[in-house]
Amino acid sequence: MGLIVQKYGGSSVADAAGLKRVANRIVAAKRDGNQVVVVVSAMGDTTDELIDLAEQITPIPQGRELDMLLTAGERISMALLAMAINNLGHEALSFTGSQAGVITTSAHGRARIIDVTPGRIKEALDGGAIAIVAGFQGISQDTKDVTTLGRGGSDTTAVALAAALDADVCEIYTDVDGVFSADPRVVPSARKLKTVTYDEMLELAASGAKVLHLRCVEYARRYNLPIHVRSSFTTNEGTWVVKDHPEGGSMEQAIISGIAHDKSEAKITIVGVPDRTGVAARIFQAIADADINIDMIVQNVSAAATGLTDISFTLPKAEGAAATAILQKLQGEVGFASIQYDDQIGKLSLVGAGMRSHPGVTATFFGALSDAGVNIEMISTSEIRISIICRETDVERGAKAAHTAFELDADQSEAVVYGGTGR
Ligand code: ADP
Ligand code: ASP
Ligand code: MG
């Protein structure tokens, strides 16, 4: 007998029929002799709809109240799922994140899990019940307020619970058959990966492949917990996220494991910055003080005649207004000429441990982009990733071209999208 944690995403529980279908799968896992803990997301696009609703009330909702609102989405699905399982003759008990012992920091909208104390979940399991836990939420250790973990955070709830309960596996059920070499919604010829390492998955998730929440992968790596990403619409074997590719797998291991894209970032360019020691530090300290995450940074060589340079950086679109306001306040002190804001950018990233030992990856990538007519605006690299910024409208064309150039296209089309709206 094992302990399994299963997580079902919003598209898997989009309506009553979906909830009943998932309930049958959960009962089957229980009948196989396992103890089963289920983490569930809000139904369909509920979270987006609740955000839209809040924005109709106020453009900047208070974090505390927004979290209170959004966590209602997962409470609805958890209760309905428990009812569906009870209907099948099995006992199921639903728990909010707080009841399940998910203790977090107090940062509303992006709280981090500090501790998991799943006493009530263990009790439920010991009593023979299936435990259903609302994903994406917890309770702040300091303020005791309800918090959320950031969009896509139910994955992290599942892995954190799996680690705390010492589960044998964490299964993430979604609307595609696993982790693919690119987003199947964008690159229909994408190939399903049998395995992907924590390191590769971290880079993919950080680069925009939203199939797994970034922090869930960090958590799984820390606890060496295997994640099985698979479809809730089929019984196909999915993708295993593990420490290393299995022995013997290296022969077929491609140089590039995947291509990720991200349309959620914007670019700020600070024009005419005096090229003096300490200026960049001053600018980025001000951005950091406002707790704004930045991604890529490029500073041009200053023109000898003027001693002025331009600095560009990317950041989440959601934080663009705040960052621009901070920079405007700094303009007098630093003495730069102007600020340009561009939210029509996209990011494309190549990820693969194999690129370390293969020169020419960058040349192939840029060649493919050039052939597809995609202009590169910024570049950043890590040991196992190359990312570029281009026009948002070029992202899909660039992703397809790079996918083909690295011979990642599947022989037979296997990338089926079973549900979801891609929102
Ligand atoms: P869920 O609601 O189950 O959490 P998400 O929408 O968060 O589902 O994540 C699944 C989606 O992630 C897929 O429908 C797909 O469009 C997208 N995706 C992006 N990159 C990848 C990838 N490399 N492999 C698989 N899916 C990906
Ligand atoms: N419902 C939340 C969201 O849409 C959390 C999740 O689905 O993981 O972001
Ligand atoms: Mg998700």
Residue-level pLDDT at 386: 95
Q: Measure the CA–CA gap between 342 and 329, rounded to whole angstroms.
A: 19
Residue-level pLDDT at 251: 47
- Give me ligand 1 centre to Cα 274, in Å: 43
pLDDT, one tens digit per residue, over 159-210 is: 999 999 999 999 999 999 999 999 999 999 999 999 999 999 999 999 999 9
Q: Tell me which of 15, 183, 211 to substitute to probe ligand 1's pocket, judged by most ligand atoms within 8 Å of the beta carbon.
A: 211
Residue-level pLDDT at 300: 81
37-66: b (≥16 Cβ within 10 Å) or e: bbbbbbbbbbbbebbeebeeeeeebebbeb
**Whose alpha carbon is nearest atom 12 of ligand 1?**
211
Given a cut of 70, is residue 250 above it in pLDDT?
A: no
DSSP 180: B
Per-residue confidence band for 253, with pLDDT thresholds at 50, 70 and 90: low
For residues 150 and 300, the model is more confident at 150
pLDDT, one tens digit per residue, over 28-61 is: 999 999 999 999 999 999 999 999 999 999 988 9
Mean pLDDT rounded to a whole number for the chain: 94
- Give me ligand 3 centre to Cα 277, in Å: 43
Given a cut of 90, is residue 255 above it in pLDDT?
A: no
Per-residue confidence band for 252, with pLDDT thresholds at 50, 70 and 90: low
Residue-level pLDDT at 249: 55
**Whose alpha carbon is nearest atom 2 of ligand 1?**
9
Compute φ and ψ for 266, nearest 5 degrees.
Answer: -125, 165
Q: Is 390 in the pocket of ligand 2 (CB under 6 A)?
A: no
Q: Which amino acid is at 211?
A: V
Q: Domain spanning 3-175 has what CATH number?
A: 3.40.1160.10
Q: Measured in whole angstroms, how far is the alpha carbon of residue 216 from the centre of its chain?
A: 8
**Whose alpha carbon is nearest atom 8 of ligand 2?**
152
Question: Quick check: helix, strand or coil at residue 263?
Answer: coil
Contact by Cβ (8 Å): 364, 398: no
**Whose alpha carbon is nearest atom 6 of ligand 2?**
152
Q: How many CB atoms lie within 10 A of CB 238?
A: 22
Q: Name the most confidently modeled range: 140-144, 295-299, 408-412.
A: 140-144
Beta carbons within 8 Å of 133's beta carbon, 6+ residues apart: 37, 38, 39, 40, 78, 94, 95, 96, 97, 100, 102, 121, 157, 161
Q: Tell me which of 7, 21, 39, 183 to substitute to probe ligand 1's pocket, judged by most ligand atoms within 8 Å of the beta carbon.
A: 183
Which pairing describes strands 265-274 and 297-299: parallel, antiparallel, or unpaired?
A: unpaired
Given a cut of 80, is residue 97 above it in pLDDT?
A: yes
Q: Tell me which of 70, 71, 154 to substitute to probe ligand 2's pocket, judged by most ligand atoms within 8 Å of the beta carbon.
A: 154
pTM: 0.92
* Ligand 2 atom showing the smallest separation from residue 153 Cα: 8
Residue-level pLDDT at 411: 84
E strand segments, 142-299: 146-148, 169-174, 195-197, 227-231, 239-242, 258-262, 265-274, 297-299
pLDDT, one tens digit per residue, over 305-337 is: 788 999 999 999 988 999 999 999 999 999 999
Mean pLDDT across 260-286: 95
Given a cut of 90, is residue 419 above it in pLDDT?
A: no
Q: Name the most confidently modeled range: 121-130, 304-313, 380-389, 411-420.
A: 121-130
* Residue 224, CA atoms < 13 Å, CB-side half-sphere: 2
Measured from CB, residues less than 6 Å from any atom of ligand 1 are 9-12, 41, 152, 174-176, 179-180, 182-185, 209-211, 258, 417, 420, 422
- Give me ligand 3 centre to Cα 136, in Å: 10
How many percent of the chain have pLDDT more than 70? 99
Given a cut of 70, is residue 227 above it in pLDDT?
A: yes
Q: Tell me which of 6, 69, 74, 136 to substitute to probe ligand 2's pocket, judged by most ligand atoms within 8 Å of the beta carbon.
A: 136
Q: Which amino acid is at 10?
A: G
- Give me ligand 1 centre to Cα 176, in Å: 7
